């Protein structure tokens, strides 16, 4: 089911917590704006993205799958359906998603040298 009005908990009578107006923006900007809003939102918040870019139809659900967010569906909006509203429930925020970059591991190639987990030692 793709229309979020079929879900009683996030239907049209229940307004979103955040509205991202990405109308007129082309790929990848609607998803970038969604990501920025999700980073600042609390877990459980519903974000509605208004977009005219047809690529958002695939991009927003894909971003949700990759980032562990809940895609709630889409619904045409405007008098002639000139834009679409996409709803996403924030399952995780950036604060719960981050790892502590101050942790370090000892590199096996150079005893005693510490590198962050994000920096892999060069292959020899």
CB atoms within 10 A of CB 58: 10
Active site residue 64: no
- Here the contacts of 101-110 (C-beta below 8 Å, separation 24 or greater) are none
Strands 83-89 and 104-106, by their bridges, are unpaired
Distance between CA atoms of residues 46 and 60, nearest Å: 14
Q: Which residue carries 């877990």 as its tokens?
A: 43
Please identify which of the residues 14, 18, 27, 29 carries the catalytic annotation: 27
CA distances from 30 to 27, 37, 77, 114 (A): 6, 11, 16, 39
As annotated, the active-site residues are 27
């Amino acid at each position: 089911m793709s229309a979020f009005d079929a879900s009683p908990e996030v239907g049209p009578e229940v307004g979103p917590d955040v509205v991202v107006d990405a109308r007129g923006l082309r790929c990848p900007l609607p998803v970038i704006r969604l990501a920025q809003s999700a980073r600042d939102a609390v877990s459980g918040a519903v974000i509605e993205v208004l977009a005219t870019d047809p690529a958002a139809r695939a991009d927003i659900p894909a971003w949700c799958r990759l980032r562990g967010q809940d895609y709630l569906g889409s619904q045409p909006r405007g008098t002639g359906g000139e834009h679409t509203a996409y709803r996403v429930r924030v399952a995780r925020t950036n604060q719960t998603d981050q790892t502590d970059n101050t942790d370090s591991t000892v590199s096996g190639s150079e005893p005693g040298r510490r590198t962050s987990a994000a920096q892999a030692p060069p292959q020899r």
